[in-house]
Structure 1
Amino acid sequence: MSKGVTIITDAEFETEVLKAEQPVLVYFWASWCGPCQLMSPVINLAATTYGDRLKVVKVEVDPNPITVKHYQVEGVPALRLIQGEKLLASTEGVIGKDKLLSLLDTHLNSN
């Protein structure tokens, strides 16, 4: 299992996220988004720290409108923690390392 962040598109979303065997942290971002640049190291840390029990993917919002609309992403950066078809957690805006790790601990330790 890779411990990195996988970049995916609308076309890959079902296979990479909905059919994944473990929870998936979906990071919605945009190249023009300054705050997204602040989140990237935190997302990479989550992928490294939780790689054994969590998959982390990035979805660029502009070229992937279907997924953005389905998960009601209204601003970036945005995170969705998904397991199967179930949305476990959702955030929008920059969150710090501690808040992200706490959110992941809460959901991953309850499974």
Structure 2
Amino acid sequence: MNAEHVFTTTDTTFATDVLQSPMPVLVDFWGEWCGPCKALAPMLVQLANDYGGRMKIAKLEIDHNPKTALAYGVRSAPTMILFKGGQVQATQMGLVSKSQLTKVIDAAL
């Protein structure tokens, strides 16, 4: 994983890591038990490299960080939410293709 652009966030660090970030952050709400989440992980690393310097990607494990998941209405994994300036710009639920996710990101950036 490219640690520069893909990082782990938690209930404790979410406000600083994501809401106060100077650049947009795509948050992957995932679960360790979630097969589609594991399938999505390599694509997120690719996207982090593709958008390096323009966007960061954060991973938030929902079972260990229920407060943040609940606050944003995350009911299933994977759910990806793009934040920009502390505000939700786009939400994508489920396993999607890289091109579908790229469209969502490009529209929000």
What aligned pairs does 1:1-111 form with structure 2 within 5 A after superposition?
Answer: 3-108=4-109
CA deviations on 1:66-86 (whole Å, 9 max, x unpaired) are: 100011001001100011231
Aligned-pair identity (%):
38
For the residue of structure 1 that corresponds to 2:12, the secondary structure is helix
Q: Which whole-Å deviations, capped at 9, do the CAs of 1:8-27 have from their partners, x for residues lacking one? A: 11000000001000111000
TM-score (norm 1): 0.91
- 8 Å Cα contact 1:23-1:83 kept in structure 2: yes
Cα drift, residue 4 of structure 1: 3.0
Instruction: Check conservation: 1:22, 1:55, Cα contact below 8 A.
Output: yes
Superposition RMSD in Å: 1.1
Under a length normalisation based on structure 2, what TM-score does the superposition of the two structures give?
0.93
Unmatched 5+ stretches in structure 2? none
Q: Does 2-11 or 66-75 show the bigger shift?
A: 2-11
The gaps in structure 1 that reach 5 residues or longer are: none
Q: More deviation in 68-77 or 97-106?
A: 97-106
